[in-house]
Amino acid sequence: MLSRRRTATALCLAAALVLSGCAVGGGAAADGTVTLHMVESLTNPTRTAVLKDLIGEFEKQNPKIKVDLISPPTDQADQKIQQMLQSGSGIDTLEVRDITSGPWSTNHWLYDMSKDLKGWAGWDELTDNTVKYAKDAKGRTYYIPYGFYGLSLFYRSDLVTGAGFKNPPASWDDLLEQATAIQNPGKRQYGYAFRGGTNANSNAVAVIEAYVADKIDRDNGFKLTDGRTIFSAPEALTALKTYFALFKKASPPSSVAWGYPEMVEGFSNGSTAFLLQDPEVIATLGESKAISQQQWTTAPLLTGPSGKAVQPVATAGWGIAAGSKHKAEATKLVKFLAEGDAATTFDKKNSLVPILKSAADDTYYKTGAWASYVKMTENPDAYITVTQPRDSSWWTEWIQKSDADIQKVLLGKMTPEQLLTGWDSYWTAKWKSQ
Amino acid sequence: MKEPVAFPSARPEGEPGGTPTPTTCSTDAAVGARPDVGPDAGTGLRAGAGGRGSTAASTSAPTAPRPRRPVFTGRQGLTVAAFMAPAALFVAVFIYYPMIAGSQMAFRNWNLNDLTDTSWVGLKNFREIFTDPVFGTVLSNTGIWVVGSIVPQFVIGFAIALWLRRRFRFRGLYQALIFFPWAISGFLIGILFRWMFNSEFGVVNDLLEKAGLINEPIPWLADPKTAMVAVLIANIWYGVTFFAIMILAALQSIPDEIYEAAEIDGAGKVRTLFQITIPSIRGTLSLTVLLRVIWIFNFPDLIFAMTGGGPSNETHIVTTWMITVTQQGDYGRASAIGLIVVAMLLVFSVFHLTATREKSATGGRPTTGGKRATGRNPRTRKTKGTVS
């Protein structure tokens, strides 16, 4: 008898658990408190902590709103978010990246905030670039960027001086010269932290764009003003030859397989003298035990023969799910994160190029490793910001294809000419099919 | 006269009923083990009985448990169905439904980047896969990956299991240490090995250099050939454990008396291994190999973490390739690859099960040899039995 009763209790408990589990994502609680479910994508522990602090601040200001932050591991985050969006519920605020906004808005998963943001005072505080990225080609707002990723050259000032150079490299040719001079494989000293592994395409494209900077279409970094692809230009071949020479003469041989972690580790443990990376590395390098703060700093992105460089901007921001039942509250949260202290704190603590105009007067951005970013912002004609076609639906396919092609060239299985012809016809065909 | 004392105690254990689980495999194992027990027992009166007993067991084994087939009444059937219903429902809802729902994507244009058009496209996804130039590399890599992992895993795992079967100080500790890798996530192991095999900062090159085996660092993950070797080494390290666990468990089910009998009979270590150990655990071995082939086939974690399928797609296996296609958002094509994987594994499993079943049928033959030799001098008989 007892065991039967016990079984019944267990069953009831299980049922209760299951039912309460199913109830997550329901409407407002009895006292009018609304719980927002927020999912981030480019998760890392430090960032999550910063975000939680900001959310705490938001909850203090809005006692009737609770925010439940979900932080899936970065590698699977976008797929998880996709699944949640597809199911149509359980998600209110989410991190939208420039590469996911296109497909997600096509599938009607994202909410267009433009009406809710009409007359929002925050618009005037945002930099021009931020406003540009906050609106798509048709003027719809699917996300407001929280910051920007942009390339700059991290270099070892001690090694550059030691090799007899007065200034850090300004152009790709300078880099080839200096990195070759520093390279000394016998002593495990290498010039450049070459990116041959995951996302190898990004740096290769940055070189090509610098070489065609004079005739690039600023709304589509893969297009020339005459409508053809940048890969069809003769300068593209010169660019790639310099770039691959950098691999042969001045990089660790195993960098064929180097992705983000190896590049940063290579620079941070002192093996390589140059690294082309996003500003978030500034924070990582601050913790390095092998090299001190005095041994390294940053220089602006490398230029092509015309003295110009193209900044391949990448960004992400906060948006709202189309299936959300609490859009008004969610909009409040998105606004909160894009304004004032919250925006500044988030960008500073995550080493992102800031979204607020006020950052230009902030001393924090005028010193040390950040100075090169200010220099780039102050010379928009030499350091051109160009929108990359990262919202194309075939972007992931392109990344995988182009990464494999670059490795083929590095392994001697393909020539740079074949690579460029392939890339040219790939993009031409994709644009035609649109 | 030790022998007569030793054997009566050995015999009951050697009977089919003495084996731990009454599955086909263990019955085979018991039959396989018999020639060593039966003939040895042949000193004196029991010799004939032993031989006959084994024959009887081998011939009556298939028929013995069957004649009393339980008769189901409608009510019993309902009770059984009621007990099974929750499990069946659970499996149906959480496994079969998603599986079928997922498979239909393989025949549709199902791209996450644009779900506005999900029309049926027939075999288009499959055609695209078969005509993809990467597909050939992927297939041969999968073969290398499975065979290159499973053979060393099996051999090393077997050796470790044999070694751990002996009793020595801190055996429990050693067992725990050896089984430990199995508890770590494959992806994490991949990341660890990615750093270990790093050409410039990795511990592998460092050790090789300090040992004076190489002068120049080997670009492990940067060269397609060494990259495959590196991921195989990682996988062997990871999977040895499972074989060791399974084989050790099976080994512990072999009664010690059989070994004592063999030892007294003068069987060497090699002969004991091939005549007693392996036949006794053949069922477990075959099943473990089958399981591991399926798992290794479906184990993209390591490769994904170590090389991501690179350099230039040279280390992709079917399942890592499927992940990259999924990442492109092309669930239609990814689902088609999934179905191809299922088909390949199904064909393999049927083939493997059929093949190993035939083998165990021949494995029973030594019994006949033993029977033929009944009545002769046990020592000479035993040698003959081995030869045949």
Query: Measuring CA to CA, which residue among A279, A249, A405 is closest to residue A351?
Result: A279
Q: How confident is the model at residue A163 (pLDDT cuts 50, 70, 90)?
A: very high
CA-based radius of gyration for chain A: 24
Burial of A61 (0-12, 13-18, 19+ CB in 10 A): exposed
pTM across the whole model: 0.74
> Does B200 sit within 8 Å of A404, measured CB to CB?
no
> Is the Cβ pair B311, A256 closer than 8 Å?
yes
> Which residues from chain B sit within 8 angstroms of residue A413, using beta carbons?
312
CATH of B87-387, one of 1.10.3720.10, 3.30.70.360, 3.30.565.10, 3.40.50.12160: 1.10.3720.10
What lies within 8 Å, CB to CB, of A175 at 6+ separation is A153, A169, A192, A246, A274, A302
Q: How far is A96 from chain B (nearest CA, A)?
A: 14
Residues in chain B within 8 Å Cβ distance of A79: 326-327
CA distance B101 to chain A (A): 15
The nearest CA of chain A is from the CA of B334 a distance in Å of 13
What is the widest separation between alpha-carbon atoms in chain A? Answer: 90
Parallel, antiparallel or unpaired: strands A272-277 and A190-192: parallel
User: A97 or A26, which is more confident?
Assistant: A97
Q: Which of B36, B51, B48, B37 is nearest to B8 (CA)?
A: B37
Question: Looking at the predicted structure, is the pLDDT value of residue B29 above 80?
Answer: no
Is residue B65 over pLDDT 50? yes
> For testing the chain B interface, which of A83, A184, A396, A402 should be mutated: the one with the most B CBs within 10 Å?
A396
Residue B55: both structure tokens together: 């024959």
Radius of gyration of chain B (CA): 27
Pairwise CB contact (< 8 Å): B199 & A393: no
Find, in chain B, the residue whose alpha carbon is nearest to that of A400.
B324
Of A254, A397, A407, the CB nearest to B328: A397
Question: What's the average model confidence in pLDDT over B259-265?
Answer: 88
Is the CB of A393 less than 8 angstroms away from the CB of B114? yes
Residue B141's pLDDT is 94
Least confident range of A79-83, A178-182, A249-253: A79-83
pLDDT in tens, B164-186: 888 778 888 888 888 888 888 88
- Between residues 12 and 71 of chain B, which touch chain A (CB distance below 8 Å)? none
Q: How do residues B296-331 score in pLDDT, each as one tens digit?
A: 999 999 999 999 887 888 899 999 999 989 888 888
Give the pLDDT band (50/70/90) at residue B267. Answer: confident
Say yes or no for a CB contact (<8 Å) between A252 and B200.
yes
Distance CA A149, CA A99 (A): 13
pLDDT band at B45 (very low <50, low <70, confident <90, very high): very low
First to last CA, chain A: 71
Contact (Cβ atoms closer than 8 angstroms) between residue A191 and residue A183: yes
Kindly report the nearest CA distance between residue B373 and chain A, in angstroms: 59
With a cut of 80, say whether residue B106 has pLDDT above it: yes
User: Among B89, B115, B200, B228, which would you mutate to test the A interface (most chain A Cβ atoms within 10 Å of its Cβ)?
Assistant: B200
B327 touches chain A (CB under 8 A): yes
> Mean pLDDT throughout A51-74?
93
Q: Please state, in angstroms and rounded to a whole number, the distance separating the CA atoms of residues B262 and B13.
A: 14
C-alpha distance from B322 to closest chain A C-alpha (Å):
13
Task: Give the one of A400, A408, A411 whose C-beta lies nearest to B324's C-beta.
Answer: A400
**Which of A198, A400, A413 has its CB closest to that of B328?**
A400
Count of CB pairs separated by less than 8 Å, A with B = 88
- Break chain B into its structural domains and give their ranges: 87-387
Round to whole Å and give the CA distance between A371 and A375.
6
pLDDT digits (tens, 9 = 90+) for B129-153: 999 988 999 999 999 999 999 999 9
Degrees (nearest 5) of the Cα angle B373, B272, B49?
35
For residue A13, give both structure tokens. 């408990």
Instruction: Say whether A271 and B200 touch across the interface (CB within 8 A).
Output: yes
Q: What gap in Å lies between CA A220 and CA A268, rounded to an integer?
A: 34
Residue B329 has its nearest CB partner, among A255, A266, A396, at A396
In sequence order, what are the beta bridge partners of A67? A36
Round the average pLDDT of chain B to a whole number and report it: 76
| Distance from C-alpha of B286 to C-alpha of B247, rounded to nearest angstrom | 11
Domains located in chain A, CATH noted:
29-148+314-361 (3.40.190.10), 152-312+375-429 (3.40.190.10)
Q: Is the pLDDT of residue B269 over 90?
A: no
Condensed to tens digits (0 to 9), the pLDDT of residues A287-311 reads 888 999 899 999 999 999 999 999 8
Nearest Cβ partner of B219 from A197, A254, A408? A254
What is the C-alpha to C-alpha distance for residues A348 and A54, in angstroms, rounded to an integer? 13
What mean pLDDT value characterizes chain A?
A: 89
Collect all residues of chain B within an 8 Å Cβ-Cβ radius of residue A403: 310
Q: A253 to chain B: which residues are within 8 Å by CB?
A: 199, 217, 219, 222
Cβ(A410)–Cβ(A244) under 8 Å?
A: yes
Across the range A128-134, mean pLDDT stands at 89
Residue position matching structure tokens 């064929």: A256
Interface of chain A toward chain B, CB-CB under 8 angstroms? 79, 82, 102-103, 106-107, 188, 190, 196-198, 252-257, 259, 262, 265-266, 269, 271, 393-394, 396-397, 400, 403-405, 407-408, 410-411, 413
Q: Give contacts of A411 with chain B, Cβ < 8 Å.
A: 223-224, 311-312
Per-residue pLDDT of B339-375, as tens digits, reads: 999 999 999 999 988 888 755 444 444 433 333 333 3
Q: Does B326 touch chain A (CB under 8 A)?
A: yes
Give the bridge partners for A96, in sequence order: A317
**pLDDT for position B358:** 55
Per-residue confidence (pLDDT) for residue A77, from 0 to 100: 85
Question: Could you tell me the pLDDT band of residue A5, with boundaries at 50, 70 and 90?
Answer: low
Contact B217 A254 (CB under 8 A): yes
Q: What pLDDT is attached to residue B129? A: 93
More confident residue, A409 or B25: A409
What is the structure's pLDDT at B359? 52
Residues in chain A closer than 8 A to B114 (CB atoms):
103, 106-107, 393
Instruction: State whether residue A232 is helix, strand or coil.
Output: helix
CA A82 – CA B258 distance, rounded (Å): 60
Q: Do A411 and B224 touch (CB under 8 A)?
A: yes
**A265–B220: do the CB atoms touch at under 8 Å?**
no
| Best mutation target, B112, B231, B313, B320, to test chain A (most A CBs within 10 A) | B112
Q: Which two tokens stand for residue B178?
A: 């050896």
pLDDT in tens, A408-428: 999 999 999 999 999 999 999
Residue in B with minimal Cα distance to A398 = B328
**pLDDT at position A360 over 50:** yes
A127-136, A270-279, B60-69, B128-137: the lowest-pLDDT one: B60-69
- Over range A331-354, report the average pLDDT: 92
